[in-house]
Amino acid sequence: MNGVVAGCLGALGVAATLTMPVLAAAPFAFDSAPGRLPKDVIPRSYTIAVQPDPDALVLAGQESVVLEFRKATDTIVFNSLNEQLRDVRLDGRAASDVVTDDEQQITTVHLSGPARMGSHRLTFSYTGKVETQPHGLFLQAYLNADGSKGRLLSTKMESTDARRMFPCWDEPAFRSTFELTVTVPAAWTTVSNMPIAKRIARGAMASTTFQPSPRMPSYLIEFSAGDLAAITARGGNTALSVWAVRGREQNGALALANAKQILADYNDYFGYPYPLPKLDSIAVPGGFQGAMENWGAITFNDQLLLVTPASTMADRQTVFSVQAHEMAHQWNGDLVTMGWWDDLWLNESFASLRAANETDMRFPDWKWAEHQDVAKERAMEADAQVSTHPIQQHVADELQAANAFDAITYEKGQAVLRMFEAYLGPDVFRAGVRAYIKARAFSNATTADLWLALGKASHVNMDQVAAAWIEQPGFPLISVAASCDSEGRRDISLSQSRFLMRGTVADGSHWSVPLRIRNGIGANPVAVLLTRDGQSMPSGRCDEPLSVNADAIGFYRVSYDTATLAQNLKHFADLPDGDKIALLDDQWALVQSGKQSLSAYLALAASMGSDLDSRAWEQIAATLGRIEYDVRGAAGHDAFVTHAKSIVQPAAQRLGWEPRADESPGAQQLRRALIEDLGAWGDTDVIDQARARFTAFLGDHTAIRPDDQAMILGIVAQHADPAVFGQLHAIAKAAGDETEQQRYYSALMEVRDPQLARQSAQIAMSGEIPPQGAHWRLRLLVVLAQEHPQLAWNTFIDNSEALLSSNPKYAPLITSQYVPEYFWNAAAPDRIEAWVRAHVAAEMSQNVQRGMEAARFRLSEQQSLIGAIDAMADSPR
Ligand SMILES: [Zn+2]
């Protein structure tokens, strides 16, 4: 999702803590679930009344918790943060002592004597904080399109922030019912997980009590209040609503229709009807990036839920796929929750896979499954580092759980599950998922529970096949050696080794690899489980192409012997799209890792023929763009650009500038990617065309379709003079729609002129950016870093605290792991590393290693590419 997202959905996540693999997983059992809280006193039901004061930023609460004492004890331990408890009583008798430790985020209540085993009631009143950053209950300021100011309350609890709103057993295995009452201004509308049970207005204030929730973990609690309005529909037995700031609710019409469709599909897929009476989708302006799967009340950054006339097809695709992800969590995550944060991948990878499959099923012409290759490649690049970590990570302390939300958890996990789904077959996989949901409903689960259910459905020992993929870092490179007999029949011998971009690791890694092998062009792939080196098999004929990763589904790379690669090149234009994609991805990765020559990759790219498959071309456009960027200023640059243009121009010319009525979204996206490359490479015809369209746009904003605006304005900005820059800036300032603001301000960051770029940096940090846009300031600097790395870096380090404050939970992760990647060519690596280490805690050291390995790799890749390009320019082509 355009890189920078965080929360349930999105990989800004920090890769956590310890890379120690989790020891052989066992099925979920409450008593052995990890966590810091003792399990001898368990909450059964909470009754919580809260009155937030949005002006003083404080809240007052009363809480009553029915507890089950599993043994006689005089001590009760639970989580709290920034709260003062008063009048703490058990069954009406005052506690002898209450100790609150905000450092540990724990309150310990001592009783005057042990309370007997059985049911007791804990009561207290407390005061706490209303946050101004998106953790716990927070106040969000926003500007309306007419410039008027608004504010609302919302919540973001995952992973460990419910304790900021009310003291609780804030670990996922402690399921309980929650009955929430909140007192806010009577003019405000209120939404929570459950429908409203009663509402009592007293003067300017009103108290709303919501129906008790089903048994659920605390991190799924939701409450929002403000000047909100909804549009509604029914989906079977479920009341569906989309909420937005009043006046914008009609922009949720698409999301409401999506929700209805997805709910019906998931009721069927999971074989378990959605268990709550209602499902709300709430558009929060600003707040946090991404979306959060609170049970029955999903919150979204409004840019991920609402659609305006300024929205693009890509925006609509994002809305559907994010909804599909969050709604998958209503089953996998909410109805069945991971027992502890080290199985976060169970929640996230599964939701991402389900969302991709749902989107692919409903919109076949989006080619969504193919598009997932982008995410898979991102994960593979991260996972080809020495410092990567296993999907399943040991999370010793829930306070570090936020560090587990990264590309490996989401995107490698999704890709690996997809590989297993293809291996077992989608129907068998679904049968396993249904059994898993049914067996663990209203409870928790571990990875072992999922393997158990999939194993029963498939009769495959999933533990054995899956363990290495989940518990080991990295992935294999499959080497293919073919031999031919006198009749031309091919035999292949396969071996594996861990694939790394740089360096070696002597860790003896080995995987059971579910290969899908296609011999020839039209044949169906054959499933083969590679378990030992030297495994061999007959494999079609030597004059046919060969794909050992048919349809690019596997999470591994393939290196073919020279003769087989030559066959693949010869037949490349005719290969199925997925096989083309796999070959392009693998050959480029082999170039990056120094195992293949650049000319071998370029030969493939030049062999696309008339095929316009969007993902294959997108791979080529992105790779050629990266090479051109890296070799700017090198002797061979201009010769490379001439060659790169000769590769993309035939496809660009076939596509032209204007979309045809019957075109797929992929073809339109491809047109923009190719034109963007040509614009960046200084193609005068493309620049002139973009300027002419911009001139028309100045007079009439409908002159450029929303889908094409970012591309055209970006090209214009790159080559802008002060007058054009001023025009672009005026357009950005005049925009009232956040979708347009993001687009126009982002274009300003692409300017190449160094004087103008200094203005861009100031604009990114200025009050022009509306309060709900605080979280995209950093993204603006990342765009600026493309053309002006040092300026962007200096602006970042001068303003880092402000830039990261909108994302407090993920700030350590962003700083340690992503900042080095964003600014890899802005300063010497040692200087970047010194700055990063000075700005994060020592416990983030492994994340710093990952970020710095990525940054140093990019520098060394740039040097290799310059060498290769200069050598090619020296030799006749
Ligand atoms: Zn999620």
Per the structure block, which two tokens stand in for 286? 């600003």
In terms of Cβ atoms closer than 10 Å to its own Cβ (0-12, 13-18, 19+), residue 691 is middle
Rounded to the nearest whole angstrom, what is the distance from the C-alpha of residue 8 to the centroid of ligand 1?
Answer: 4
pLDDT 10s digits, 5-30: 334 554 333 233 333 344 457 999 99
Residue 244 CA, ligand 1 centroid: distance in Å = 21
Beta bridge partners of 229: 244
CA–CA distance, 12 with 14 (Å, rounded to integer) = 6
Q: Longest C-alpha distance within the chain, in Å?
A: 94
Q: Which residues contact 475 (CB under 8 A, 6 or more apart)?
A: 380, 383, 384, 469, 498, 499, 511, 555, 556, 557
Cα three-residue angle 211-216-806, rounded to 5 degrees: 95
Residue 39 CA, ligand 1 centroid: distance in Å: 27
- Model pLDDT for residues 285-341, shown as the tens digit of each residue: 987 789 999 999 999 999 999 999 999 999 999 999 999 999 999 999 999 999 999
In this predicted structure, what is the pLDDT of residue 876? 56
* Distance from Cα 708 to the centre of ligand 1, integer Å: 30
What residue ranges in 440-488 does DSSP mark as E strands?
Answer: 443-445, 476-484
56 CA to middle of ligand 1, Å? 33
Contact present, 597 and 875 (Cβ < 8 Å): no
At residue 488, φ and ψ (nearest 5 deg) are 85, 10
Which residue is it, tokens 């290693």?
849
What tokens does 430 get? 């679904």
169 Cα to the center of ligand 1, angstroms:
22
Tokens for 310?
A: 């300024």
How do strand 443-445 and strand 336-338 relate by DSSP bridges? parallel
Separation of 351 CA from ligand 1 center, angstroms?
A: 6
**Which residues on adjacent β-strands are paired with residue 284?**
301
Q: Measured in angstroms, how far is the CA atom of residue 427 from the centroid of ligand 1?
A: 23
Could you tell me whether strands 136-143 and 336-338 are parallel, antiparallel, or unpaired per DSSP bridges? unpaired
> Which amino acid is it at 47?
T
Distance CA 550, CA 216 (A): 41
Q: Which residue numbers are catalytic?
A: 326
Handedness of CA 95, 96, 100, 106 (dihedral sign): negative
Cβ count within 10 A of residue 819: 28
DSSP states along 303-352: GGT---TT--HHHHHHHHHHHHHHHHHHHBTTTEEESSGGGHHHHHHHHH
Query: Which pTM value belongs to this model?
Result: 0.95
CB-based burial of residue 486 (10 Å sphere; 0-12 exposed, 13-18 middle, 19+ buried)? exposed
Looking at residue 286, what is its pLDDT?
85
For the record, the structure tokens of 731 come out as 């357009």
Give the chain's residues under pLDDT 70: 1-24, 404, 876-877
Q: What separation in angstroms does the CA of 748 have from each of 213, 689, 745, 802, 858? A: 47, 19, 5, 21, 26
CA–centroid distance, residue 293 to ligand 1 (Å): 7
Cβ atoms of 441 and 330 closer than 8 Å = no
Calculate how far, in angstroms, residue 840's C-alpha sits from the geometric centre of ligand 1.
Answer: 26
Q: How far is CA 814 from the centre of its chain?
A: 13
Report CA(858)–ligand 1 centroid distance (Å).
Answer: 29
- DSSP SS3 for 835: helix
